[in-house]
Structure 1
Amino acid sequence: MLKGKIVKALSGFYYVQDGNSVYPCKGRGNFRKRKITPLVGDNVSFEMDENEEGYILDIDERQNELVRPPIANIDQAMIVASVVEPEFRTILMDRFLVLIESKNITPMIVLTKTDLVDDEELEKLESYKENYEKLGYTVIVGSSKEEDGLLGITPYLEGKTTVIAGQSGVGKSSMLNALKPHLDLETNDISKSLGRGKHTTRHVELIEMYGGLIADTPGFSSLEFQDLEYDELPDCFPEMREHGEYCKFRGCLHNKEPKCAVKAAVEEGEIPSYRYEHYLQFLEEIQNRKPRY
């Protein structure tokens, strides 16, 4: 029996890497009966038959998994946002951060297309950068069109499996092309009418890069908090975890309770007001979510 990692899923085949070799495999029939779907990133046991056809026999326990995009065993998520075309929006960034935090995956933020904005916009961007860094997030600012513009990313890739997150059109494929030029991944310009880009990646694949594996995926097709309960939301905000310990009531949701340390921190400017407003918006969204049966 052989051991390896699924590095690509395409057209019903799972491509399993073992050392320097990659084997196209199919899943066992009983996976479907057990409602198990092999995912890119899975560590698996497989075998090759006399016809050199591969079959996945078993899947190791997963560290974590995402559904959309379908990928497992992720160490960190690189949330890519452009500063313009499409415009940088803190609420979208915070939504991504919450989704990543809820899966116990370490997030980092990459802001691209800085070559397209003026000094005033860059100064505004710097304030957001400082806010997110105070929360403990790594933030890298640059442009894939400038020489060495995003090379600050590379030290964070070594020894890690990294998934790229971000809305379409922000420059995810352009960034990967800049980091590893011979990839020649397809990129598309922003639609002027829709204000967003077209998806250019159509399957999930792990690419070896700078001593680690980086996932090129079709993106996060859903940004809804389907698997997150309202009482878990405060743990997905680092500032809520920090200040929430000093709230008077255990299990404080930081919205209507008296003597709430989080609300006090917002009033004193220790927590950016937009972060708190987004928290309240997400909390209401989860509490009003229709139950699933």
Structure 2
Amino acid sequence: MPEGIIIKALSGYYYVKPLHDGIIATEEEAVQCRGRGILKKKGTSPLVGDRIIYILTENGEGMVDEILPRESELIRPPVANVKLAVLLFSVREPDMNLNLLDKFLVHIEHSGLEPLIVLTKQDLAEDDGQATAQVKELYEKIGYEVLVTSSLNGSGSEELRARLAGVISVFSGQSGVGKSTLLNRLVPSLELETGEISLRLGRGRHTTRHVELIDIGGGGFVADTPGFSQLDFLELGVEELSVCFREFASYAESCKFRGCSHLHEPGCKVIEAWQAGEIADSRYEHYKLFYNEMKDKKRRY
């Protein structure tokens, strides 16, 4: 029976690209498949990104017979086998939001995906790129990979394309950052609908309506998903938060108290590192903010 990868799920159908010796047959048409009833009985639903075994039926369609083991599974957006989370944040229009960026990074760290920060709209920078350079330096010092792009002049696009080769990535981040414009530059034949920015609201319209894997060449696929303007911490325990701030790790091991919250305890090495300038003010302030937000939510629920 043939193997394939689900590139789109829509109205109960799964659109499957065939796999030959583990390589996606990009030139072949996707096969429209239904899921077998036995999958529902097992409580398993196919997801975009799943590698599957399918059966061809007489009418040229197919039936998803078996879902192969997943390397990863995201709940929101519902995608399987994602390796790289690309977080898109604009330099201007809307302005850079480090609070939201750090919140996304917490969720990505918790999910176990590899993050890539992409700063867009560099052509709109008003200070010769100094603020962008500072943000890039801040997050690279922590250990994150940061790319700077401009969809207007194309800078950074080829570097990003090379980074996305051979893996399934999910694009997420600030709304209105030019995600569709960037994808259109990576794959000119896409012609994705782009949403205009509302400067009054500071966010863009959500133009993406379903999850779909976009073939960007080189064996790479991007899950085009709606931009999020809100994230919550309900699925994350407050005791897990500090682990999601990767620069805390080497200091937290030496804290005086086990289970240190890094907020007020004597002998806290994270606080000492922050006071010594080894942890950025913005990162520590956001950690405290998220910690209190999580505590409040826990009380509420």
* Bin for the TM-score computed over the shorter chain: over 0.9
- Distance (Å, rounded) in 1 between the aligned partners of 2:155 and 2:281: 34
Moved more, 81-90 or 208-217: 208-217
Question: Which amino acid is the alignment partner of residue 282 of structure 1?
Answer: F
What pairs up with 1:123-272 in 2 under 5 angstroms? 123-211=130-218, 212-220=220-228, 223-272=231-280
TM-score, length of structure 2 as denominator length: 0.91
Moved more, 2-11 or 266-275: 2-11
Q: Matches of 1:291 and 1:71 in 2, distance apart?
A: 31
Letter in 1 for 2:11: S
Q: Deviations over 1:155-175 (max 9, x none)?
A: 211221111011221111111
Q: Structure 1 pair 283/185, CA: closer, same or farther in 2 (3 Å)?
A: same
Q: Does 1:9 align with 2:16?
A: no
Q: Which of 109, 115, 139 pairs up with 1:107?
A: 115
Following the alignment from structure 1 to structure 2, what is the Cα–Cα distance between the partners of residues 153 and 105? 17
Q: Which ranges of 4 or more aligned residues in structure 1 deviate by more than 6 Å?
A: none
Structure 1, unmatched stretches of 5+, are none
Identity of aligned residues (%): 49
User: Any conservation in 1 of the 2:175–2:229 contact (CA below 8 Å)?
Assistant: no
Equivalent residue number for residue 42 of structure 1 = 50
Of 189-198 and 262-271, the range deviating more from structure 2: 189-198
Counterpart residue identity of residue 182, structure 1: S
- Corresponding pairs, count: 292
The answer on whether the counterparts of 1:76 and 1:161 sit within 8 Å (CA) in structure 2 is: yes
Q: C-alpha distance in 2, partners of 1:231/1:185?
A: 41
Q: CA deviation at 1:255?
A: 1.3
Q: Aligned partners of 2:265, 2:246: CA distance in 1, in Å?
A: 19
Cα distance in 1 for partners of 2:2, 2:277 equals 56
Q: Which amino acid aligns with 1:181?
A: P
Give the conservation status (yes or no) of the 8 Å contact 1:69–1:221.
no
Post-superposition offset of 1:222: 5.2
- Once the two structures are overlaid, the 10-residue window that deviates more, 130-139 or 29-38, is 29-38
User: Partner residue of 1:73?
Assistant: 81
For residues 82-121 of structure 1, the aligned pairs below 5 Å read: 82-119=90-127
Partner of 2:22: none
The residue that corresponds to 2:37 in the other structure is 29
Give secondary structure in 1 for the equivalent of 2:232. coil
User: 1:35, CA displacement in angstroms?
Assistant: 3.6
Return closer, same or farther for 1:286/1:263 CA change in 2, 3 Å cut-off: same
One-letter amino acid of the counterpart of residue 108, structure 1: L
Secondary structure in 2 aligned to 1:181? coil
Q: Secondary structure at the match of 2:203?
A: coil
The AA in structure 2 aligned to 1:194 is: L
Report the aligned-residue RMSD: 1.9
Deviation sequence 1:218-245 (CA, Å, 0-9, x none): 2347511221111111111111122212
For 2:53 and 2:40, how far apart are their aligned partners in 1? 17
Would the aligned equivalents of 1:75 and 1:162 in 2 still touch at CA under 8 Å?
Answer: yes
